[in-house]
């Protein structure tokens, strides 16, 4: 599945805007239309749009509907209806006919509707959305579990993770067209570098009946036959400009699919960057040079729109990342929108792309949990592997990996990733420190540690000692580079205290800078990702006053005190080689 675009052979238009909306309160035939209770924005989470509690917290079935008229000029084309994200489950209908369904919320799905779409009359699109989580969904929910590190309990709604379970059609809905005869269905780009020469390898799949493919990049043109519905081709770029941190050198290859007589059936432009990523000893190497990750965990979260795609917020967030001299972030704790990843490609920001498997609890895991996890992990890799900004895969965050049951589970996840992509390192983010039992399967140790907050509260000196002791134990056991993927403190903006006390801006600043001092004193630590980039909404519980306040920035993207100190610290990279 490739990201839709408009070309000489393809059309594309989005169905964003105002849709009709209703809760599923009875057993009626909603797929053929319904009396709307509300109007809803697409893309957006629906939870914070309305004033009534019964809408905000409704996680059972809700229905979306809108009508669309198709231009007759596309009547002879293949027509595809695509959803970039529907959380958690989406079931789509066109003119009352069921198209299919998808779950796990953050990856795209699409349907060929060529034989269903009506070019003479209006078409009715209806979508059933459900956000009921369980022990067999990824992420999990409604477990009624006991609390432990990485496992929240007793929240409203009942989630073991620490962010609000927003729902709805949260990313664009599109219709795109291709030729009915043949079309490019998949393309995979990998690159290598030898000296100043970049080697580009492309493989792909073509659906339908076609004879050959032509690839054009800069002054290079390569032609290859299509055999058994696929192709494989390589070419070199002399004096290649490498994609790097804040050096977003991008290349474009035009792919044309032709029939036996030379008629062009499809055309698609694939963007890519030439770069390499590897782990060597206690370093992560980008283009053969060590890179130190400085940045944040984040959330797709903003007032009113929730997790809905918000281009203005994405632009603001990246401007703040550049202002503070960050170079990276992790897509905590789910795949982010492709539009945001494309922005990272264009601006030279490093990404750790994470599956939506947060707080997996092996007291409740079943085979269906693993099946759902494997499925969405494969979808994530298929979607993101051509993006140069994605430099590492994260298979999960804060699972109960101190239990033996986790070993075969994470072995299966690691094997899947490596079978699909051998060009990037793989990590898993633990909160079990040296008690973790699955790090043998991963290249980089990702760890969330909160000394000075969840334990040793208010005691910064003791927190620094505790962090050093924990990291030394972890490195002695795992002998792999360690990336600190979460640390920090909740902070109320405008609250000050001298001497520093918890919740004050002084305490957040002193704790974060003190912990970074320890990290940078340990050679095997390869990065510091503060939790969190900005304050965000959570489920309701007594330790969360208006959400999680660990942001370096407020939810409306204004800096707290710590940002000014980080901006100075991060101005000079740790590694200059």
Residues marked active site are found at 398, 486
CA 255 from chain centre, in angstroms, equals 27
Rounded to 10°, the helix 505-519/561-569 angle is 20
Nearest to 140 by CA among 299, 432, 357: 357
Contact 226, 257 (CB under 8 A): yes
DSSP letter for 148, please: B
Contact 321, 352 (CB under 8 A): no
Nearest to 170 by CA among 84, 53, 48, 61: 84
DSSP letter for 435, please: G
Contact 414, 373 (CB under 8 A): no
Written as one string, the DSSP assignment of 498-547 is SS--TBSHHHHHHHHHHHHHHHTTSTTEEEEEES-SB-B---BBTTBSSS
Contact 524, 478 (CB under 8 A): no
Sheet of 17-23: strand order equals 38-42, 17-23, 62-68, 123-130, 89-94, 97-103
Nearest to 122 by CA among 161, 184, 67: 67
């Amino acid at each position: 599945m490739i990201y839709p675009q408009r070309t000489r052979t393809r059309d594309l238009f989005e169905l964003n805007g105002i849709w009709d909306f209703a809760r599923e309160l009875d057993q009626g035939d909603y797929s053929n239309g319904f009396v709307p209770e509300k109007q809803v924005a697409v893309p957006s989470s629906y939870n914070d749009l309305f004033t009534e509690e019964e809408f905000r917290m409704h996680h059972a079935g809700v229905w979306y509907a809108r009508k669309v008229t198709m231009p007759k000029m596309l009547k002879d084309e293949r027509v595809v209806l695509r959803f970039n994200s529907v959380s958690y489950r989406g079931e789509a209908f066109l003119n009352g006919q069921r198209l299919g369904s998808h779950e796990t919320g953050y990856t795209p799905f699409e349907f060929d509707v060529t034989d269903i779409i009506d070019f003479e009359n209006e078409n009715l699109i209806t979508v059933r959305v459900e956000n009921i989580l369980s022990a067999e969904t990824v992420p999990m929910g409604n477990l009624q579990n006991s609390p432990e590190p990485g496992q929240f309990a007793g929240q409203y709604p009942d989630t073991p993770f620490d962010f609000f379970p927003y729902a709805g059609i949260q990313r664009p809905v599109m219709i795109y067209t291709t030729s009915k005869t043949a079309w490019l269905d998949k393309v995979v780009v990998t690159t290598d570098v030898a000296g100043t020469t970049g080697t580009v390898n492309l493989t792909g799949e073509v659906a339908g009946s076609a004879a050959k493919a032509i690839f054009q990049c800069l002054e290079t043109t390569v032609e290859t036959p299509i055999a058994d519905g696929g192709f494989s081709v390589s070419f070199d770029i002399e004096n290649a400009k490498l994609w790097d941190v804040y050096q977003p050198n991008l290349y474009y290859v035009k792919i044309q699919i032709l029939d036996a007589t030379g008629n062009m059936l499809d055309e698609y432009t694939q963007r890519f960057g030439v770069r390499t990523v590897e782990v060597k000893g206690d370093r992560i190497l980008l283009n053969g040079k060590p890179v130190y990750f400085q940045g944040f965990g984040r959330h797709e979260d903003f007032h009113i729109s929730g997790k809905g795609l918000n281009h203005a917020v994405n632009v603001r967030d990246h401007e703040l990342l550049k202002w503070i001299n960050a170079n990276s972030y992790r897509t905590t704790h789910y795949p982010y929108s492709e539009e945001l990843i494309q922005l990272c490609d264009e601006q030279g920001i490093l990404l750790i792309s994470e599956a939506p498997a947060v707080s997996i609890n092996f007291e409740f895991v079943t085979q269906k949990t693993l099946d759902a996890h494997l499925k969405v992990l494969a979808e994530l890799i298929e979607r993101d592997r051509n993006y140069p900004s994605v430099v590492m895969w994260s298979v999960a965050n804060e699972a109960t990996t101190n239990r033996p049951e986790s070993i075969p589970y994470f072995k299966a996840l690691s094997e899947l990733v490596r079978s699909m992509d051998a060009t990037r390192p793989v990590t898993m983010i633990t909160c079990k420190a040296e008690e973790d039992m699955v790090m043998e399967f991963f290249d980089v140790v990702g760890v969330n540690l909160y000394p000075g907050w969840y334990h040793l509260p208010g005691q910064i000196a003791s927190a620094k000692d505790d962090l050093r002791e924990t990291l030394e134990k972890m490195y002695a056991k795992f002998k792999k580079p360690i990336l600190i993927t979460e640390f920090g403190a909740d902070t109320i903006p405008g609250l000050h205290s001298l001497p520093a006390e918890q919740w004050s801006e002084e305490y957040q600043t002193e704790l974060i800078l003190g912990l970074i001092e320890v990290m940078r004193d340990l050679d095997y630590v390869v990065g510091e990702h503060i939790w969190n980039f900005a304050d965000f909404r959570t489920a309701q519980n007594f330790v969360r006053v208006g959400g999680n306040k660990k942001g370096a920035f407020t939810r409306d993207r204004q800096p707290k005190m710590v940002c000014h100190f980080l901006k100075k610290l991060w101005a000079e990279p740790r590694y200059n080689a």
